[in-house]
Chain A
Amino acid sequence: MTNLDQYRESLKQSGLEMFELCEKQMLKSKEAFLTHDSDLAEEVIHTENRVNALDLKIDRDCERFIALHTPVAGDLRFVLALRKINFDLERVGDHAFGVAKYIIEINTPIDPKLLENLRFVEMYDSALSMLDDIKDAYIDDDTKKARKVYKKDKVLNKININAFKVISEEVKKDPNLIDQYLLLFSIIKKIERIGDLITNIAEEIIFYREAEILKHQKKKKVRKPGK
């Protein structure tokens, strides 16, 4: 293994560590939210420092890789992609942190029936499953697996749109609970955003493996002539 290969491998491992850390943060914040466990929420909040530290380390290592090894072609695409993947994962970590913060702030647990109406657990699990898929795609450099997350993201988007309707109806029934509803809506927004970040990571994996740029392609497809 050349020096360059070793460095690249160690970057890849750091990326994987970031995946695992953010996945754990998401799992814990989900559990803390559903069980209203403020201790677990505190743990998520404290671990955020580790996420930030790893984010800085990966950024610094990527910079060194570029400066010292002047990578080209596949190596260059990998390091460019990893910087973005790292950025996206750090944002995923931020959202898990945000959810944990809400748990500390609210006094009463959310009504389970409302969570069911909102398909909250289904949404959270879909986001977790997307994160797991994209982690596997990253480990195996598998663009087929990476492409799987687009379909799952559609589920998140649907639940997000539906949540707006459900919450507006519930608020009309009991306006006193508006604070809880708004908070819940903002958590749902966060999960929806996590889905988008994961699809960004999929784009980056496809970019570094296949040199194909998928970013902004959706918008182009929409603008068909005559439409």
Chain B
Amino acid sequence: MGKEKNENVIESSLKRKYKLQAKDVNVFYGDFQAIKEISMDIKANSVTAFIGPSGCGKSTFLRLFNRMNDYVDDFRMEGKIFIDNQNINKKKVNVEQLRKQVGMVFQKPNPFPKSIFENVAYGLKIQGIKDKTFLKERVESTLKQVALWDEVKDNLNKSALALSGGQQQRLCIARTLAVEPSVILMDEPTSALDPLSTAKIEELIHELKHKYTIVIVTHNMQQAGRISDYTAFFYLGEIIEFDKTNKIFTNPEKKQTENYITGRFG
């Protein structure tokens, strides 16, 4: 009995080293199969990049981790997705709570047409937090976390829409961080930004990984190389190769991966 208990403890601690897990996942949009039998383990406090040509299923797969695909017509999924060993597709799972835990940043910055302060405080306010001091402190600390505080501290009541694209994207990340998620999903977060804003976001991702588990979809091979610890190459709904980024960009196992990352295919 004691031995069995110990084994269970060891097994569960081993499992915990993975923050996100996908088991035998298939995704269909009507008759079209977008994801084919994907299983994947993503380590906590790491950055994992999804790369692959357009339409390969990487964004669809990313959105499985906060159930964003639930809104898509004809969407159907088989298999299981776990976050901290919890199956997130069970009926009892509160999707709002899930999205608080799993934040998302999109390709195009999408601040609310509200003030900078309100944008960051929004998530907390809808949770019923009214304590002004707490809100102020959280807004300040979060804006500092995304390195935006110094640029906006004197204009917190200004419309978020007046910020530059790069600032808006950092504001959106701040909005995500304010509700203290443990996972951040990013779908091409810098594809609409200039190189300087991109560098700031990349620096931010590098800082954030100490506290969060980050999964990023990117079409920029150099970006994947610069910021991620692990890289998964998707093609036609399958994972062709998933390995340490170092390995993928220096000596990939599969010829298909090499052809893609060197720009010869896809």
Contacts and interface: CB of A to CB of B under 8 A. Distances in A.
A66 to B, nearest CB: 12
Interface hub of A74, A76, A211 (most chain B Cβ within 10 A): A74
Interface in A57-111: 70-77
Given A70-B222, A72-B225, A4 B262 contact: yes
B221 interface: yes
B249 interface: yes
A72 B264 contact: no
Contacts of A116: none
Contacts of A71: 262
A73 B222 CA distance: 12
B258 interface: yes
Chain A, interface residues (CB within 8 Å), range:
10 to 19
B251 interface: yes
Contact of B251 (A5, A70, A211): A211
B181 to A, nearest CB: 32
B258 A73 contact: yes
A2 B260 CA distance: 13
Contacts of A4: 262-264
A211 B250 contact: yes
Contacts of B251: 73, 77, 211
B261 interface: yes
B250 A5 contact: no
A76 B252 CA distance: 12
A205 to B, nearest CB: 15
Contacts of B258: 73-74
A2 B263 contact: yes
Interface in B122-160: none
Contact of A77 (B221, B222, B250, B264): B250
B252 A73 contact: yes
A77 B262 CA distance: 12
B225 to A, nearest CB: 7
Nearest to A71: B262
Given A2-B264, A5-B264, A71-B262, A76 B250 contact: yes
A4 B251 CA distance: 18
A90 B264 CA distance: 32
A1 to B, nearest CB: 10
Contacts of B252: 73
Nearest to A75: B262
Interface in B205-259: 221-222, 225, 249-252, 258
A70 B249 CA distance: 11
Contacts of A73: 249-252, 258, 261-262
A74 B222 CA distance: 15
A129 to B, nearest CB: 32
A207 to B, nearest CB: 10
A2 B249 CA distance: 19
Interface string B150-185: 000000000000000000000000000000000000
A74 B259 CA distance: 10
Interface in A1-60: 2, 4-5
Nearest to A3: B263
Given A4-B263, A72-B262, A74-B258, 11 more contacts: A2-B263, A4-B264, A70-B222, A71-B262, A72-B249, A73-B249, A73-B251, A73-B262, A75-B262, A76-B250, A77-B251
7 contacts: A70-B221, A72-B225, A72-B261, A73-B252, A73-B261, A74-B258, A76-B250
